[in-house]
Structure 1
Amino acid sequence: MLPQPKETPIDNGEFKEQSSSKKQEKVEYYSQKTISIETIIQDFNKTLAAIGAPQDINEEVQAYLKLVDTQSLKEKPSPKLIKSNLKNAANILDEYITETLQKSSKVVTDWVEALLLQNVNYKAEKIETPEVEEQQVTQPEPVKEEISELNSLYQEAGKLADTGKLRKALITYDKLLPEVKSSGDKSLETKIYLDKAYIYDVNKDFPSALENYNNAANLAKETGNDKIRALSHYNMASIYDEFGKTNLALSHYYEALSYDGQIENLRAQTQALNDVGNIFSTGKQYRQAIDHYHAGLSLTKETEDTKGKAFLLSNIATVFKDVGEDQKALKYYKKSIECDMKIGNLEGYSINYEYSADIMQRNNYPQKAENLYKKSLDAAQKLGDKGISTRILEKLERNNLSY
C-alpha cells in the first residue's frame, strides 16, 4: 500500500522583466560560442556564493538549480523547464538583493535572460563510470521462500489498512519489521516505514509519523527510490506546515521538489510549489508567493492539469485581492471559474464567486455582489456544503442583501 500525498490547493504568478546595461555585455561575451548548461549552473553557483544570501534563500535557489541539473541529464532535456527553473532561481536572488539594498534589482534575471538568448546546449555530458562486472549470487531456496512469505504478510497488512483496520495493520507491520530487517530486504522495509507513517499521520500521532517518514526517506536514499523519498519529504513538510514550522516545512518541500523532478512527477511538483507559495502568502511575502505560484502554473501547461490550474489561478487571484489589486483579482477568479466549469468543480466554482462578490461589495457594487453571492450559494447547496452555504447566507444578511 502506497499512501498518496495530501491534496492542497495550487496557485501561480507572473514576472515583469526589465533590461540592463550588463545584459549587452553578457550577450557579446557569449555570442561567439555555444554555452553549455554545466557552465551556466557553475556560474550561477558562483554568483550565489558571492551574494552571500542566508540559508533559506540558498536552499530555494539550490532546489531550482538541482531541477535544472536533473533535467539536463535526461536523454532529451526540456529547454522550457530548464529556462523556467533558471528564471525562478534568478527572481529569488533579485528579490533578496532588492530587499537588502532597498533598491529594485533585476541584475541576476537580466544575466540569465542574456544567456538564454544565446546558443545553449541544454544537454549535460554524463560522466561515464567504468562498469564493474558483478558476480551473480544465487539465493538459496529457503531465503526466496522467506522473502515471498514476508511479502505476503505485507500485503495482508496493507489490506487491513485499506479496510480501515489501522490498529491491526500497525500491529502486523510492527511484527513484520524485525523479520524484514533480518532478511535484508530494504525495499520492503522502506514501504513498511512509509505505511506506518501514514497510519500515524491519519491518527494525528505526528511525532511517530515524522519518525517513520524520516526512516522511509533515509532507506529510500539507500535503495534509490526517489518516488518514496519525494513522498516522505512532502508529507513531513505538510506536518511541519500545519504546525507553523515554516523553515522545516520549506526545507522538506524543496527536497520533495527535487526528487519529484528526478522522476518527472510534474503534478506532485505543482502541488509542492503551491504549498510553498501558500507559506509565503501567509507570511505576506507576496512576491515570493507569486514566484512559486507562477512556477506551478507553468507545469500545469505541461500536464494539462485543469484542476491544478483552477486552484493556482484562484490562489493568484486571492493574493491580488489581499493586496488590493481588485481588477487583477477579478480577472484571475474569472479564469479559475472557467476551469472549474470544465471539470465540474462546484466547490471551487462556489468559492471563486464568493470571493469575487466580496470584492464587488467592498467597492460599493451591492447588486453585482448580490448576484455573485447567489451563484456561490446555488453551487454550495448543490454540493451539499453547509459550511459555505452558511457563510454566504451570513454575508447576504450582514450586507442587507436579499436571498
Structure 2
Amino acid sequence: MKRIRPLLLFALLAFSVASRAQNQKIDSLVSVLQKTKNDIDKAQLLNAVADEYKATDPKLMQKYATEALQLATKIKDNVAQGNAFLNLGNAAIILGNYPQALQYFSAAQTVFEKALENSGTENKKELNNGLARAYGSLGVVFSEQSNYAKALQYHLKAVKIYEADANLAKCARVYNNIGVVYKSQGEDFKALNYFIKCLKIQEKMGDNSVGITTTNVGNIYLKQKNYSKAFDYYTKAQQLFVKFPNQRGLGNYTITWGCIIKK
C-alpha cells in the first residue's frame, strides 16, 4: 500500500489541474456564446458548453442542451438538434434517469436517420457520426438495464459506422462497450478479445481512457484466475492513471485493487 499512496496523490493533483483547465474552457465558450449573433453558431456553442458540463454539473448540462434544442428546432438545424438530444440523454444518464435517457437517445436516432434519408452529401459525415453516437448511447442504456441483446445490437450498428469512417478513437470506445456487454453475459473470451482490440488502439493513440481498458483486461484475467497477468495489467493501469487521470476509472481500479489486497 505504501507504493500506491504517492501515485494516488499525484493523480488527485492532476485531477485538480484538469478541473481548472475545464473551467477555463467553459468560461471561454460562454464568452464567445455571449458575443455570437448567428443562430447556427449559437446552437453549436450551446451544445459545446453542455458537453463540457458532462463531467461536473448535469443540471447545467441539461440547461444548455435544452436551449440548444429549442434554437436548433427553430432554425431546423438537424445536426445541432440531434446533438442536443444526445446531450440531454447523457445528462439523464448521469442523473440516473435511464427511461428518460432512452427517450432522448431514440429522438436523436430519429433526427439523424430522417436527415440522412432527406439529404445528399451535405453534412453527411456529421449526420453519420451523430447517428453512430445515438446507436452507441442506446447500447449503453440497454446495457445498464441488463438488456444485453439490444445493447449488443446497437453497439454493433455504431461500430459499423465508425469502422467505415476509419474513426479509430470511436471504434475503441465501442469495442470497450461491447467487451463490457460480453463480460456481463459471462462470455469472457469474447469480452477479452474486444477489450484488447480497444487497448491496442488506445495505446497507439495515447487515449486518456487507456487505464480503464487496462483495468478491464486485468479483471478478465483475475476472473480466469490468471493472477500473474492480472497483476501485470493492474500495475500497468496504476501507472496509466497517473499519466492519464480519470476519476471514475481510478475509483474502480482502487476498489478492485483493494479487493485483491484483502484476499
TM-score by length of 2: 0.70
Instruction: Give 2:132's match in structure 1, choosing from 267, 270, 274.
Output: 270
Structure 1 residues 304 and 384 mapped into 2: Cα distance closer, same or farther (>3 Å)?
Answer: same
Match of 1:318 among 180, 185, 189: 180
1:2-23: CA deviation from partner (whole Å, max 9, x where unpaired)? xxxxxxxxxxxxxxxxxxxxxx
Q: Which residue of 2 aligns with 1:213?
A: 68
Cα shift readout 1:58-79 (whole Å, capped 9, x = no counterpart): xxxxxxxxxxxxxxxxxxxxxx
Does residue 95 of structure 2 align to residue 234 of structure 1? no
In 2, distance between residues paired with 1:386 and 1:353?
Answer: 15
In 2 relative to 1, CA 260–376 (structure 1 residues): closer, same or farther, beyond 3 Å? Answer: farther
Does 2:239 correspond to 1:378?
yes
Q: Counterparts of 1:195 and 1:317 in 2: how far apart (Å)?
A: 33
Q: CA deviation at 1:236?
A: 3.3
Deviations 1:83-123 (A, max 9, x none): xxxxxxxxxxxxxxxxxxxxxxxxxxxxxxxxxxxxxxxxx
State the 1:379 CA deviation.
Answer: 1.9
Structure 2 Cα separation of the partners of residues 236 and 394 of structure 1: 30
What amino acid sits opposite 1:353 in the alignment?
Answer: T
Name the CA distance, whole Å, in 1 between partners of 2:210 and 2:29.
36
Q: What's the CA shift for 1:299?
A: 0.9
Taking the aligned partners of 2:87 and 2:252, their CA distance within structure 1 comes to 31
Give, in whole Å, the separation in 1 of the partners of 2:254 and 2:94: 29
> By how many angstroms is 1:385 displaced?
4.7
> In the alignment, is the contact (CA less than 8 A) between 2:47 and 2:80 conserved in 1?
no
Aligned twin of 2:28: 164
**CA 1:268–1:397: 2 relative to 1, 3 Å:** same
Q: Which has the larger radius of gyration?
A: 1
Distance 1:234 1:286 in 2: 21
| 1:303 partnered with 2:165 | yes
SS at match of 1:251: helix
Residue number among 274, 283, 286 corresponding to 2:148 in the alignment: 286
Structure 1 residue 342 displacement after superposition: 2.0
> Could you say if the C-alpha distance between residues 316 and 190 of structure 1 is closer, same or farther in structure 2, counting changes exceeding 3 Å?
same
Q: 1:336 to 1:398 in 2, by over 3 A?
A: same
Matched residue type, 2:218:
A
Cα pair 1:197 1:210 within 8 Å, conserved: yes
Q: Which has the higher helix share?
A: 2
Structure 1 residues 360 and 330: alpha-carbon distance in aligned structure 2, compared to 1, 3 A threshold: same
Decide whether the 8 Å contact of 1:277 with 1:293 is kept in 2. yes
Deviation at 1:399, TM superposition (A): 1.5
Change (3 A) 1:272 1:367: same
Quick one: distance in 2 between partners of 1:386 and 1:210? Answer: 24
Give TM-score, length-normalised by structure 1.
Answer: 0.48
**Cα distance change of structure 1 residues 317 and 193 upon mapping to structure 2, 3 Å threshold:** closer
Partner deviation per Cα, 1:282-334 (whole Å, 9 max, x = no partner)? 11111111111111111122211111111111110111111111111111111
Q: CA RMSD in A?
A: 3.3
Please give the alpha-carbon distance, in whole angstroms, between the structure 2 residues aligned to 1:207 and 1:342: 34
* Identical-pair percentage: 15
How many angstroms apart in 2 are the aligned matches of 1:233 and 1:373?
Answer: 37
Deviations 1:130-159 (A, max 9, x none): xxxxxxxxxxxxxxxxxxxxxxxxxxxxxx
Structure 1 residues 271 and 363: alpha-carbon distance in aligned structure 2, compared to 1, 3 A threshold: same
Q: Which amino acid aligns with 2:69?
A: N
2:209/2:246 contact within 8 Å kept: no
Indicate the SS of the match to 2:209: helix
Determine the structure 2 residue equivalent to 1:343: 205
CA distance in 2, matches of 1:197, 1:214: 9
What letter matches 1:231 in structure 2?
N
Structure 1 position 271, deviation (Å): 1.9
Measured in 2, the distance between the counterparts of 1:369 and 1:197 equals: 40
Aligned to 1:399: 260
- 5+ residue gaps in structure 1? 1-160, 177-187
Distance 1:165 1:332 in 2: 36
Hey, what does 1:333 align to over in structure 2? 195
- Against the structure 1 CA distance between its residues 217 and 317, is the aligned structure 2 distance closer, same or farther, given a 3 Å change threshold? same
Greater relative contact order (Cα < 8 A, sep 6+): 1
Q: Paired residue for 2:101?
A: 246
Q: Are the aligned partners of 1:353 and 1:372 in contact in 2 as well (CA < 8 Å)?
A: yes
